[in-house]
Structure 1
């Protein structure tokens, strides 16, 4: 017996029938409590936020799109009519053919709610998603299939999270990038129509059902095909019209714009190698373009101020600074090796007269101590032990113990740095997060007396 769905199925949701619907009155079908993980005391694990979703709700219909097709889920707000309570919807997920809404409070089955969409988030998602369809369609003309794609989280996430990318079989040349970007924006300016088509049959050979998720029952669901361009294209440019006749025809569950003009613009950014021969091409579209431009301009102005130069001179100044840093790094390595040689010589002299010696340098790093051990050589450490300690106060520092009787000497060191953590075979390396007041001086005195 086939399952009867009490709610609209994914593929025929209100949000998929009308991407511009911002509010909807509907009823609660079911509400299920979720198992919420207990807050972890471990610093390495993220503690769940206060507003962790605790219930999943199924409605008769929804204007909130469940995550799918590379498009993140919508968010929104519910107004419960009977109780006059407002509840946020954190996310929506697809469970087979059912859309389940994550909320912080339980809802009673049968309750009437007014659902309000977070429109800015939806519009941004549609600009990026429809932009990806258009970009992929143009890349198809270069015999470059879209292997996968990912939508950036958005402006609120900060940093590079604003960027989208798609993976293609090979890297584009600079000329191809210019050409592809030009063609995409030409189609945007042409205001090509975008339609959702539900094919009468899946056996016509034109609908690629292999792209459907494995848990989506195509026999009971609704297969949606997104078409860009075609017969309804009334652009005055015959050349563009011929290029754009049914420019795109792909199965997709996402929400889309009704015209390419609403994408606004699309910019190709940079590429990075991916897997063996593939290329990951980054892009942004819609309102993210001016926002990203403003962010970049603000950062460039900050760099201008830091370098005390004009924008045109930034690259030359950075090249000069890079060369200076490379030269200073080389000089640092030279003088570090000379200092390590000197300290190793002093330690070798001490170890010739005693079984243990200590070197404490507040500014020394673990790399420097390893150089000292290298310069000291193996022979002195066959009969004696050396302790190297660095850092000061709250900044902490490194500790190295090498030679014979390492475990015993480490135990002596830990008396003055009980919170130090480290390990190693033959040579113990550790880190002190903070030196207690006077601890270093007492350690030096104690190790010296052991000699």
Structure 2
């Protein structure tokens, strides 16, 4: 005796998942062909379960897998054509338990409903013997951003890094996989991050047709691994990249501004346009139209063509890489733009949410950089702007519309105070020098530290005192940390002591005409410099070789 098995179906952008619901299965056999799947097993009652399913579309058998658990057997069928929806049969009145779709997991392929319903008739002969629809299983580990694949090679390597201006080198391994869901950098888009098993991927680069993953732990060639992508980073890059395509197309169609390059930055991105200037009205018009297209929910379709296809010479492109081989990938924003591109993109312009053009800046060679943010970045930008506005309102004690006027008044007041402060410092420098000169018991070394001051303050004192016969050692700044220093006096003394003083203060300086001045990083050591000067005057200081 044998009978068909209840099956739950899940459609994703790259995969279709079939879960055969059999508890305590035995003798499981799964034969995956390019247009057919044959499944059989014995259940806990020793009844043979058998399903033979003609598939809606072609799949990739070599990249398809099955996985058995205590309650079910799940098949992972890799679509031949990615981001092409399979029929949504459960949207019809007939609800078939073995063909179940969790709509929270659907990508939105608008505009294909009629085609889907027509193809749905292909399945009607297969769904006659089922009654109740059960709850879908957890799909946490079956995301279409995960891929079960094989390690091809793993070799020691090094990765150059830069963090906050500091450069470094990581020692690790370069890994090549049979296939990957992690995008290598290219086309103006940074690379993905993610995991191979539990091992973080720190960089993905392209070497010819291969994606090379840099990791810190070795992986065994031939081993089966699950590759996971950092979805937050991926989706952000998708939004910015698709946004760039849309802005580029609109700027070209409206004003003939050609895109010559673009850069996806960490906080904002820019498009280099072949025009020396853009007006505010042009920027506003482009922004209005791109957001109109987003509201119209225009589909974004990925197609693959060959280089001898007549369409190849009609789509927008800045040229193919020198090492390119094989078919060409086209990103088609329906009715707006078709462009060769290797990057990751949204399936519908509605996924961009919104685009904000922040303005322009001068580019290179009579070009203009148009700065923009898209999607989640706009929300974060609005949140940051509101937080700053709220903080300024509390500090300035007025409404947002009065912030600019209030800041301008503050700037004028600060400039006036700075001018007055400089005048007072100059007067104080002159009085300080005169006080020393009028002292009948003055020493040959004049030393002074003042928290407030600058190079001009120190030079005024040195000039007023005169340094032909007097050694002047001055410092300004925080007494416990860093600041500025000046040593002035007879050239032979300054030449001898200046560099040594800089070393004691752990700073740097330069000498000229009996003066040596610079930056002090350890002001607390100024007492050692004073002691050195006394030793030089007394003739007891050893000379540096």
Residues 1:227 and 2:332 aligned together: yes
The structure having more radius of gyration, on CA atoms, is 2
Aligned mates of 1:323, 1:291 — CA distance in 2: 32
Aligned mates of 1:420, 1:133 — CA distance in 2: 51
Aligned mates of 1:115, 1:272 — CA distance in 2: 40
Could you state the TM-score of these two structures normalised by the residue count of structure 2?
0.64
- 1:346 Cα offset (Å): 4.7
Match of 2:180 in 1: 62
RCO higher in structure (CA 8 A, sep ≥6):
1
Match of 1:26 in 2: 149
- 1:398 Cα offset (Å): 2.2
Match of 1:136 in 2: 248
Kept in 2: contact 1:393–1:437 (CA 8 A): no
Could you state the TM-score of these two structures normalised by the residue count of structure 1?
0.77
Residues 1:35 and 2:147 aligned together: no
Higher-helix-fraction structure: 1
Pick from 291, 298, 305 the counterpart of residue 199 of structure 1.
305
Q: Which 5+ residue runs of structure 2 have no aligned equivalent? A: 1-61, 64-77, 84-106, 108-143, 540-545
Higher-strand-fraction structure: 2
- 1:64 Cα offset (Å): 1.0
Residues 1:99 and 2:186 aligned together: no
Match of 2:134 in 1: none
Q: Deviations over 1:178-232 (max 9, x none)?
A: 1110011111111222222333335853256653334xx23x2332222212xxx
Q: Deviations over 1:305-345 (max 9, x none)?
A: 22222222222211111111111122122222222333444
Aligned mates of 2:333, 2:307 — CA distance in 1: 20
Residues 1:432 and 2:538 aligned together: no
Matches of residues 11-410 of structure 1 in structure 2 within 5 Å? 18=82, 21-35=144-158, 45-46=166-167, 52=170, 54-79=172-197, 86-141=198-253, 142-153=255-266, 162-168=267-273, 169-202=275-308, 204=310, 205-207=313-315, 210-214=318-322, 217-218=323-324, 220-229=325-334, 245=335, 247-275=336-364, 277-346=366-435, 356-372=444-460, 375-376=463-464, 380-382=466-468, 384-391=470-477, 393-404=479-490, 405=492, 406-410=494-498
Aligned mates of 1:375, 1:442 — CA distance in 2: 20
- 1:129 Cα offset (Å): 0.3
Q: Which 5+ residue runs of structure 1 have no aligned equivalent? A: 1-6, 9-13, 80-85, 154-161, 230-244
Distance change (3 Å), C-alpha of 1:412 and 1:189 = closer
TM-align CA RMSD: 3.6
Aligned mates of 1:71, 1:15 — CA distance in 2: 25
Aligned mates of 1:419, 1:58 — CA distance in 2: 49
Aligned mates of 1:391, 1:71 — CA distance in 2: 46
Aligned mates of 2:153, 2:285 — CA distance in 1: 51
Aligned mates of 1:179, 1:53 — CA distance in 2: 50
Distance change (3 Å), C-alpha of 1:374 and 1:388 = closer
